Structures are given as C-alpha cells and as structure tokens.
Amino acid sequence: MNKDRSPFPHRDDSRGFPHGAAGFPKAVPAAASLGVIGTFVWDTIYGRDPRQAPVQEWGGITYALSGLDAAMSDDWQIVPLIKVGQDLVDRAREFMGSLRHTAPNAALISVPYPNNRVELRYETNERRSERLTGGIPGWNWLGLKPLLAGLDALYINFLSGWELDLETCQLIRQHFRGPIYCDLHMLVMSVLPTGWRALQPLDRVADWCRCFDMLQVNEDEVTMMAADPMALAATALSAGVRSLVVTLGSRGAVYFADAAFDRLSDLARPSIGADNGPVRTALVPPPYVVPRSDPTGCGDVWGATYFSRLLAGDTLANAMRAAHRAAVRNAEYRGATGLSTHLRGELITQ
C-alpha cells in the first residue's frame, strides 16, 4: 500500500529490525487485517432457471468473501468474525480454506445452533422472496470487543439482520479506529412466523448511520429508511457517513459522497457533511448487462470489491468501476464455490 494513500497512519507496519550495518534482517511489512462480520447461509434456490430443479449451494457472506478475496491487494488479509452452526461448520471452514487472503490464524466460531438456511424463490431476474430456517445468534459487545484488537478495517454485511444491534454498533464506532463499511441488507427485513422475510421500517436511521464511514443499500432498502435516496443521503452524510451507495441491479449504482471524500485516506480530513457543503452524486451504469444472468450475490460482490479497492488506495470512481466489473462477472457465474477464482479471471479446475 502506498504510504501517502494509507488510511491507517497510526498503524506500525514493520516486523523485526530494519536492515543496517549491523546486519539485522530487513523489515517485513505486516499484512493489514480486515475483519468481516456476516453470516454463512445455505441456499436452496428456485426459479433462477425455470428449466432446472432447485439448486443448493452456499449463499450469505460467501459472496462477499469471494469478492474481497478476488479484489483485495496482497498486503491485506481476511479475518472472519463469523459464527457458524455445528451442522455446517466443517463445510464453512473448507470454504474459508479455499480463499487466498484468509489470515493464517483465522478461525470460524462453531456455535450449538442450526445454521441459517434460506429458501430463495425468484419472481423475476432481480426480485425474489426468501424463507429463513435456523438462526445463529448475533454478537454482543463483550464477545466482540477482544476480536477487534489488531484489525485495521471492518466490513459488515447484515445477512441475518441481527448480527449486531445498534448499541453494539455504537460501541464499535466508539472504540474502533479504522474505516467501517456496512451493507445494510437484512437489517430492514423482519422474519414472519412462517419464516418468510418482509421489509420493515428501520428505526433511528441517523443513529445507525453514525456507526459507519461507508454505507450500501439497494432500492427497496432505501424505502424503509427515507422517502427517497436524496433524503437518505442527507440523513446519512449529516450523520457522518462519507459515502452512500444505492445499488440499482442491472442499471448500476448511484452514489452520494462528501465533497471532501474521494479515497480512504480522506477519512483523516474533517467531513464537510450534507449540512455545510456540496454533495457529489452520480449514476454509474455497468459496462454491460448480461442476458439470462444470475443475480444472486451481485450486490455483495459489488460492495466487497468496492471496499477492497478503496483499501488498496483507489479513488471512489475507480473502485466503483472495479465493483461493476466484478458484479457483471458474478452474474455470469453460478454459486459461490470457486467464485473468487472466476472473479480474478482465472481458469477453474475441478
């Protein structure tokens, strides 16, 4: 990582001793650590291809992990802060072992609960319904706090909707010094008695926004937080969010950014905020649209790639272009197994 672009001026990147006349070994840069909070989900997918039988495969955080693994630079490593049910922990560990950027000492946490499983039924290529069974409990601050030590950045994706409550998020924001990216996702979804998920309004939107530096939502999620994207952008940027992205499926994404924020190193600069200055916004279309594509996980891959490239020092515009390319490649692929290899453009061998 270029020192002048590093968002972590407080971090000591050296190990050992600098090479000198005394013959000490040259310093070896320490890999920066990205903590990932989310949920492994086992999907059963109906209607993605009406001509085929239902498909069972990994979902949930596996798409984001694949996007991170493919896009992050080699001076970063993934540290999962993820609980997995005993029924699927061995498979989940195998998945983590397939990624190149998993930290050597990283470990998933096995818990005595049935893992989250979701039945996905596609109504159109971009709209679906979901039915949840199982359920891994979320984090509390006492359990999470010691795991944050040594991390340089956090990626949070609400894939159950209860990975973190507001109080825990506020404590993370209070005590964690690195950048925090959040994909709001299932935070605005309830679970009906039948297990089907339904949109529900989010209370205390501004308080949630204060917990994150970068925020990602889709069109439906916006409706549960504000009257329209502009209203949400005003709330979010006034609360301290530096970049809000609304993903639009095949139409790309629209972003709203603090005028003083163009790359992660700008987090050290005071926020102008929506109340005190201009806000940059634009619709960024994808390079092309894939016919008969698989939309599963595209938003997760998009956000993971976007944040990875920001961590590498890219500008917002360059990171978004990389995220679009990754989402398009994801749409051309089925499932998360081997996805990071596909996203890198490498040949997948069986």
pTM of the model: 0.88
Give mean pLDDT, residues 84-95. Answer: 97
Give mean pLDDT, residues 204-208. Answer: 98
- Residue 27 in this model has a pLDDT that exceeds 50: no
According to the 3-state scheme, what is the secondary structure of the chain? CCHHHCCCCCCCCCCCCCCCCCCCCCCCCCCEEEEEECCEEEEEEECCCCCCCCEEEEEEHHHHHHHHHHHCCCCEEEEECCEEECCCHHHHHHHHHCCCCECCCCCCEEECCCCCEEEEEECCCCCEEEEEECCCCCCCHHHHHHHHCCCCEEEEECCCCCCCCHHHHHHHHHHCCCCEEEECHHHHEEECCCCEEEECCCCCHHHHHCCCCEEEEEHHHHHCCCCCHHHHHHHHHHCCCCEEEEECHHHCEEEEEECCCCCHHHHHCCCCHHHHCCEEEEEECCCCCCCCCCCCCHHHHHHHHHHHHHHCCCCHHHHHHHHHHHHHHHHCCCCCCCHHHHHCCCCCCC
Q: In whole angstroms, how far apart are CA 63 and each of 105, 215, 268, 310?
A: 22, 18, 30, 18
What lies within 8 Å, CB to CB, of 170 at 6+ separation is 207, 210, 211
Most confident option among 24-38, 199-213, 251-265: 199-213
Q: What is the pLDDT of residues 262-298, one digit of tens each?
A: 999 999 888 766 566 678 999 998 887 766 667 889 9
The strands making up 214-218's β-sheet, listed across from edge to edge, are: 76-80, 32-37, 153-157, 180-183, 214-218, 243-247, 253-258, 279-284
Please state which of the ranges 182-186, 214-218, 268-272, 304-308 shows the lowest mean pLDDT.
Answer: 268-272
The structural domain count of the chain equals: 1
Report pLDDT for 275: 61
Q: What is the pLDDT of residues 217-267, one digit of tens each?
A: 999 999 999 999 999 999 999 999 999 999 998 889 999 999 889 999 999
Amino acid at 317: A
Higher-pLDDT residue of 250, 64: 64
**Does residue 10 form part of some domain?**
no
Q: How much of the chain, in percent, has pLDDT values that exceed 90?
A: 71
Range of the domain at 252: 31-343
**Does residue 18 form part of some domain?**
no
pLDDT confidence tier of residue 48, bands split at 50, 70 and 90: low
How far apart CA 219 and CA 222 sit, in angstroms, is 5
Most confident option among 31-35, 44-48, 328-332, 343-347: 31-35
Report pLDDT for 199: 94
**Does residue 94 form part of some domain?**
yes
**Does residue 91 form part of some domain?**
yes
Amino acid at 63: Y
**CATH code of the domain in which 121 resides:** 3.40.1190.20
Q: Give the up-direction half-sphere exposure of residue 183: CA atoms within 13 A in the CB hemisphere.
A: 28
**Does residue 59 form part of some domain?**
yes
**Does residue 21 form part of some domain?**
no
pLDDT confidence tier of residue 164, bands split at 50, 70 and 90: very high
The CA dihedral of 262, 266, 270, 272, to the nearest 10 degrees, is 0
Higher-pLDDT residue of 192, 55: 192
- Residue 18 in this model has a pLDDT that exceeds 70: no
Q: How much of the chain, in percent, has pLDDT values that exceed 70?
A: 85
How far apart CA 70 and CA 107 sit, in angstroms, is 20
pLDDT confidence tier of residue 124, bands split at 50, 70 and 90: low
pLDDT confidence tier of residue 209, bands split at 50, 70 and 90: very high
How far apart CA 198 and CA 77 sit, in angstroms, is 35
Average pLDDT, the chain: 87
Mode of pairing for the β-strands spanning 76-80 and 253-258:
unpaired
Higher-pLDDT residue of 31, 314: 314
**Does residue 350 form part of some domain?**
no
Mode of pairing for the β-strands spanning 32-37 and 76-80:
parallel
Report pLDDT for 1: 40
Residue bearing tokens 């996203």: 343
pLDDT confidence tier of residue 25, bands split at 50, 70 and 90: very low
Both tokens of 28, joined, read 């070896």
**Does residue 331 form part of some domain?**
yes
